[in-house]
A and B are shown apart, each in its own frame.
Chain A
């Protein structure tokens, strides 16, 4: 569980607006609704050999092939040891959140999809510095809620890190 440490000064945190929320492991995450195209029940994935670990496979979305990104891997939830209520590592995530980055669609594999929440820009603070590197790379801001913290994903940065990953591994 992420300690809701005192947020650091609000820098260039993302703007507010309605956010689609979803859960990965025990952490709730959000993305602006404009980025999200649709939410699907887990689709059949075609594995891609030799692909970076975050690529869970390809998904056929009405004839369009899109890359499925396993957020659990991208955020290190699996390798960090799954927490209590997280599904067993390797089990397919039950939902696909289809998002657009630039010209390309991606499917983010998540454990649960929540409500669309309005987020006021003023509520968004910088990501707590105590978070792990994978989280700090992937998230652009944090929103404190009654019982937990909602992290706002920075999609372009998350995907860029995924592209760079194989280069580092090689």
Chain B
């Protein structure tokens, strides 16, 4: 590993020396060229610095002396003349001599440079004013030799033909090591490192790669043709053998050419152990370095681009991350800090992680600092999550180290790392656990490559999916078993996890519904309903998230040549490029991370949490009490008491999305706030009348959506998501509240979202509540309680309404089982699940409410006849539109009551009535007159 270091140094220095020879000679001809001088100085300085780092004393000694003279020349304290130049060149020669020795033996050849160093030092003395003339007797010893050497030193004289090979120990050097200063400027040792490797123009490599790509495609075509004609007789056989040979050679060639561009990431790590050792010494810390995945290969250009950022990150981890031994002891950790490097492939990218087990980054300090530096307002940082706040670390000039140390913290920080990584199309992420350390994750693309990929079909189109991003394939059977739909998003139940599904046809706008915009998800969903049953799920991994891409068919796997797409489509992040199949067809390569983004998998994941709660609740069916509801807690900012207002809550299942809108997206129109949101105007309603919607930037919004209607509830801050047993302890007189529940030991106001929905759009609920049940009064929840918890089946095809009503029913202590359609509810009843009451929607696809009621009643009659019957279950119809005809049909079908489903109080009243012993089969007391009247009218 030190060998590697040395080799790099040798290659680099050999080149530098050649350039130096050139420059120094040019300088003599043109003594006034400051720029040239500065360049020479920089190069010698670099060599000197590296020598010191590698512990090469002789080299450092000489280089140091030469550097001193160069400083004087550069600053104009010493005039450029042949004598000075001669001494400098002499020094360069010694440097070259030592390098040659190093290369062949790995050791610095011994030698005495006193005369040379003395000569160089004399120039310093001259400049310092004194002994300009006092030194002539010593100078001739060296300068004349060099001066003679000067003219004939042709620049490319390094490669001497009689070069000993790298394995022949350089005899001349070993034999005559104590060569005094400038005797043989070009000893036998030519830089073998320069011979063993060759610098090739990257453009040439690119061209080579392109041509190999073409060859691979042609090979694929030939293979296809060959396999299509296996019975072509002798001619076919004669044709087959060379094709096979071509196939093999092409594959080898392809690999070899790929290798010319690839290097193990470990090559960029070789300097790090030494760096860590030195840092440990410099900072008094005890540090260990672990490296995993050093063989992960990367494109050479990419590797070079990450080298510096990587070094910087490791330095940061050692300097800022890991604490001093005493502090570690105090924190109960081992004294030795550990820095871990991880590299691995992920979804067509390479991820490099730098992990330390240090103190982590304190988000509070980052926030404070961000405010101090004027990067954000106090309000803004307070509203940020810790993860968001940590991103300030990537702002220019932002360092959280309390003290600037010699190692890092010089104001060049993570912002440079970030911009360097982003320049090559990568991303940087930082996660931190206070007291446990910090992880910086760099994700860089593997550009220009031939990769194995799946070729899939979506509708009439073929696409390639790079295999590195694919975890597994799952075939969907016709019944779409395991596919759940929750909150408008689809999930696949896969080994006890809910995998968000992304329909490629939707995401790519390939589901052309007549009249529907391709990116209108609701419309697309509606028209592809049922289609999800067929096809294959390509399970993709993007970062920590997984999702399933639904395709129609998987053809096969192929080696594809990744070709860049033109600039007109470069902005489409769902594509990683395109490729040409064996038959010449051009297809697009899908980028899983772009797909995830476009398919909004992140949202789907949040929905999955809700889905888990909802589905979990349904699966609990039996008697598993207590039943929990997932609540989204938020603040309204209306702090009217010293300890602040009680948090508010809304059932998460109803929430469509959480958004943040900036102040300039908000518009005030027609007496209300609106925001442009996915091609529609989203009404924004403050969660509290005292809340000034425009006061916070960005403003968090809770978005509710049902079909084409949507509303944004403006809140002060989103606080948490909790699973809790929802029991309202106290009803509220405030129309905006359902009541107060204890959540996590704290009184929490549960919001009646219907109130806000009405504020947003008067027509949210298309009909008015019926008067008949309103007269029943709210039916104090206490009144329902004596009947004890009952099982209530709630049937509605709208997840939104399930989410709206279920908490209301639960809030008075009942157990709720939900069914997403009539058929599923009938299945439950058929399985002899018993319920104390059924609430059902009327308008449902396939089995509507009327049909459901009729069949439920028929089922009950059949059971009664077989002797296994039970009293009929009270059934209450819930409808969004109430017409007298519908109402009559409902009673006719077997419903016991007919309610508008958005009327919370009416629903509670009906529950109280029907679950507290009112004769079954009757109608609610308050409803008799109206219901009877309607019945008569229709009859």
Contacts and interface: CB of A to CB of B under 8 A. Distances in A.
A117 B750 CA distance: 78
Given A65-B580, A166-B571, A50 B508 contact: yes
A66 B587 contact: no
Interface string A42-83: 001011111110110111100101110100000000000000
Contacts of B572: 48, 50-51
Given A48-B588, A63-B217, A159 B568 contact: yes
Contacts of A55: 568-569
A2 interface: no
A54 B568 CA distance: 9
B586 A58 contact: yes
A50 B587 CA distance: 14
Contacts of B586: 46, 57-60, 65
A104 interface: yes
B580 A60 contact: yes
Interface string B561-594: 0010111110110110010100011111000000
B461 interface: yes
Contacts of A67: 565-569
A65 B213 CA distance: 12
Contacts of B569: 48, 51-52, 55, 67
A163 interface: yes
A36 interface: no
B22 interface: no
B509 interface: yes
Nearest to A45: B586
Contacts of A59: 586
Of A50, A51, A63, A163, chain B has the most CB atoms within 10 Å of the CB of A50
Interface string B912-924: 0000000000000
A106 B510 contact: no
Contacts, number: 67
Given A55-B568, A59-B586, A60-B580, A50 B214 contact: no
Interface residues of B, number: 24
A49 B578 contact: no
Contacts of A50: 508-509, 572, 574
B568 A163 contact: yes
Interface string B192-213: 0000000000000000000001
Contacts of B214: 63
A155 interface: no
Interface residues of A, number: 25
A78 to B, nearest CB: 17
Nearest to B572: A50
Interface string A148-170: 00000000000100110010000
A51 B571 CA distance: 9
A104 B580 contact: no
Contact of A49 (B571, B580, B588): B588
Contact of A66 (B509, B566, B574, B575): B566
A69 B580 contact: no
Contacts of A66: 566
A55 B574 CA distance: 16
Nearest to A105: B566
Contact of A163 (B461, B509, B510, B567): B567
Contacts of A51: 568-569, 572
A49 B213 CA distance: 24
Contacts of B588: 46, 48-49
A69 B565 CA distance: 14
Nearest to A54: B568
Contacts of B566: 58, 65-67, 104, 106
Contact of B567 (A44, A63, A65, A104): A104
Contacts of A60: 580, 584-586
A62 to B, nearest CB: 8
Contacts of B563: 65
Nearest to A47: B461
Interface in A118-137: none
B274 to A, nearest CB: 42
Contacts of B578: 46, 58, 65
Contacts of A46: 578, 585-588
Contacts of B213: 63
Contacts of B584: 44, 60
Nearest to A159: B568
B930 to A, nearest CB: 52
A159 B509 CA distance: 24
Given A48-B569, A49-B508, A65-B578, 14 more contacts: A44-B584, A49-B509, A50-B509, A52-B568, A52-B569, A54-B568, A58-B565, A58-B566, A60-B586, A63-B217, A63-B580, A106-B566, A163-B571, A166-B571
Shortest 5 CB-CB contacts between residues of A and residues of B: A46-B586, A67-B566, A49-B508, A58-B586, A63-B214
Interface of A: 44, 46-52, 54-55, 57-60, 63, 65-67, 69, 104, 106, 159, 162-163, 166
Interface of B: 213-214, 217, 461, 508-510, 563, 565-569, 571-572, 574-575, 578, 580, 584-588
9 contacts: A49-B508, A52-B568, A59-B586, A60-B580, A63-B217, A63-B580, A65-B563, A66-B566, A159-B568
